[in-house]
Amino acid sequence: MEIIEKMKKVMEEKGLTEQQLADAIGVSKGAMHNWMKGVGKPSANAVQKFEKYCESNGSAE
């Protein structure tokens, strides 16, 4: 599963908005929005923060 698909799945499971997930992993809402639209991809650092968020919040990856 691609990282964006994982992010969308976590957002759906947790009922999170783009803003809430962006805040949780320390990126801008604009960056998150672009990723969700397929414009660009998250940096390795953002992916690492997302994975850490999933681990600490019991999200299925």
Domains of the chain: 3-57 (1.10.260.40)
Give the amino acid at 3: I
Cα separation, 26 vs 39, in Å, equals: 18
Per-residue pLDDT of the chain (61 residues; tens, 9 = 90+): 699 999 999 999 999 999 999 999 999 999 999 999 999 999 999 999 999 999 998 765 5
Cα separation, 47 vs 7, in Å, equals: 10
Residues near 49 by beta carbon (within 8 Å), at least 6 away in sequence: 25, 26, 27
Q: What pLDDT does 14 receive?
A: 94
Q: What pLDDT does 60 receive?
A: 55
Q: Which helix (H) or strand (E) element contains residue 32?
A: helix 29-37
The verdict on pTM exceeding 0.85 is yes
